[in-house]
Structure 1
Amino acid sequence: MTKEFVAADVLHEYAVRFRIALTSSDFANFLDKMDPMKHLKEEFYIPCDDNGVYLSGNSLGLQPKNLERIILEELYVWKMSHDFGRPWVSMSDICLEQLSYILGCSISEIAVMNSLTCNLHLLMVSFYNPTKERYKILIESPSFPSDYCAIESQIRFHDLNPSECIIQLKPRANEYVLRHEDIIDCIEKHGDQISLILFSGINYYTGQLFDIKEITDAAHKKVILTFFSLILGCIAGFDLAHCVGNVSLFLHEWNVDFAAWCSYKYLNSGPGGISGIFVHQKHDHRPLKRLSGWWGHDKNHRFNMDNELRPTIGAGGYQLSNPCVLSIGCLYASMQVFKKTTMSEICTKHLLMSSFLRLLIEEYKLPLKIITPVKDSERGSQLSLLVETTDIDKLHDFLKSENITCDVRKPNVIRVAPSAFYNTFADCFYFAGTLNKYFNQF
């Protein structure tokens, strides 16, 4: 039987086998030499000097070095050849194959389009259909404000009251993350009234990775039998902004109904980078309501100009307009780098780096709390550090003065997320040492 991979155990085994102190700079350097992805750091521009560390890939990923060439090439084609120099009509398709590997689905189940919140609205038009019996939406707390605004406005659009329709599941008293059993119990208890479950794959504040498969399974089991008909279970949808490119996903196999994500975090496609959607192929031939546009029209008939809509089968049918070529170019640049590794390598390194960082912080016995779950199955790259004994803005300013880039999420969390592509174990060591330096002042 193959031994289960546990990142912290692997680190301890390496330290013992090679006789290197687990929380030493020598061990960090050893891990960097062993790293099968170390060469990929050269694929990115690092906006820090040689002593600086960028740990904010969960907020904005870094720029791939090939991006400038790709964008300038498209601008040159536009300048010199206009649209005859490029098949721009199919430009949105060039990223789909690599994205399908990252998301664990077929190409027909995904589309690259719009922004994340816009896509959530389009998907909720199809998948939030409140009835007298089923009208509630289950979300986690804390919810990302943009998602909450979209959900609330969708409810109001149906002339319903958000306070009566939103179930916002909160952690237990004196806890920071949701217990998986509490999520399943909530679905079991309220499922007959829940129309839609719309969770984040990873919570933006705590870094908690939810069990997408089990939540989806629990949602779909809530079938209602009436005298006249059988009503399908709750719809399971996910905001995967902090998952895509960070953790392993198998959306088709998990039977997820729909999902949306942005691409400017772990996918490194630039500020405001283009979003994407997933719609499970089981919905391909269901008569779902949707807001349509001509780019969702079957390609073979799109330019017939006959005003007879023939939607593309799959997620592509949700496209409204042709996407910006430059936005697609930014995402394509990143996809070319993703092709040089695997999601298995990426996810393994994310877990090893965040585990190493956790061990270092615990070794220093710093007066802060890591609220991100310990288990590998419940997190990705991000660690969320709860700061209660000092002014969080002063701590953040100190980190910036030491050339460390991370971010603050109010009221009192500092988020750090080492990226498998461009961060090193030495970066983690430097960050933890700098935290220790700050608290040793007092």
Structure 2
Amino acid sequence: MLSLLGFTMIATFMYLIMSKKLTPLVAFMLVPIVFGLIGGFTKGLGPMMLDGVIDVAPTSIMILFAILYFGLMIDAGLFDPLIALILKVVKGDPLKIVVGTAVLSMMVALDGDGTTTYMITVAAFLPLYKRLKMNLLILAGVAMLSMGVMNMTPWGGASAMAMSSLGLTSSELFFPLIPVMGFGLLWVLFVSYIFGRRERKRLGILNIQNTFNEIATASELVENIEQPDYRRPKLIWFNFALTLILLVCLIMDFIPLMILFMVAFAMALLVNYPNIKDQQKRISSHASNAVAVVSIIIAAGIFIGIMSGTQMIDAMANTLVAIIPDVLGPYLPVIVALLSAPLTFVMSNNAFYFGVLPIIAQAAEAYGVSAAEIGRASILGQPVHIISPLIAAAHLLMRMVGIEFIDLQRFLMKWAFGTTIIMIIAALVLGVISI
């Protein structure tokens, strides 16, 4: 009965958010409470919910300050010299332009926000693509491929949800995936090279320096996104050094991530915007994005707490173990990695990582497969998820570039799935997931 109650709760939760009857924020809090009451767990619900919220608190704090930090770096103009350099180097060569698009989108996507990544990348390169009559599907596609890999960072969404739902730390889930992401980025550069070669063959190399100067300088292009008053060009080296130190400390993993981002954000805010009113404006400009993500993670703590506290997840896992053939048990990491691509394409990350993943991870333990392995495998499908029509930022990109979503999906799907396959192979070779 407990297993049936759990599966019914998951099905109800997924139906409500996928049919847009409830927002994920509301569904995460109310659905498990209702089913907890139906199951007769009235007295224990409070402590269960509190335990769940406490478990996800470190991840929530890390995401909050990571979003604020990278948003602040974009405001201050950390990426402006990179944009200027790329635009100077690519000139009229379609091959260089496409590869430059990939490099810029990878760097800007470090903040984990698709909207910001697409806005900056398109603003910088759209005039060049139009001037050379290059295929605009390539501009949007390369930006999405880059975002698909960079979205695997702990503050990017999928990893944060996987860590929260499975009770993992970033050192357990994310750090082993860093070299795997490296292979994914190399694949994106390779695909960009293929696209660029095709465009160079079709169009040739054009001398458009005069036209390029007429279109806009790099700084003028960036002004289309941010107000120049926010820029801090004199502090570019400080911001670069601070970000580099932050990333090094992140990889060394000797300080909790949430503390790293809290301290780094405080230092960046004080140095770049010593005036209190300016600080408040910068925080406010990114507050909506941060609150939208963090509130869902915290609300999911209630969902996780009730699933664990009532032992619904244990009962569902036992049912799943009884169904899965023993011969497939050891192969669950690879199976999860492959299935995560289509599943996160047709359902939201919230539904997959909080509804489906915990059950699979619990079942995998019966076959000696750790939750960390299942968690790592589950985010390898993000390159395909990123081109899902369920993602709001993707629709913004379509409007900015002026193309149809279905055309982009037809153009990009095999390359996006190729990114997932390359990363699965890399993960197996490097021992990040086992078989």
Name the TM-score, length of structure 2 as normaliser: 0.28
More helix by share: 2
Q: Which has the higher contact order (CA 8 A, sep 6+)?
A: 2
More strand by share: 1
Name the TM-score, length of structure 1 as normaliser: 0.28
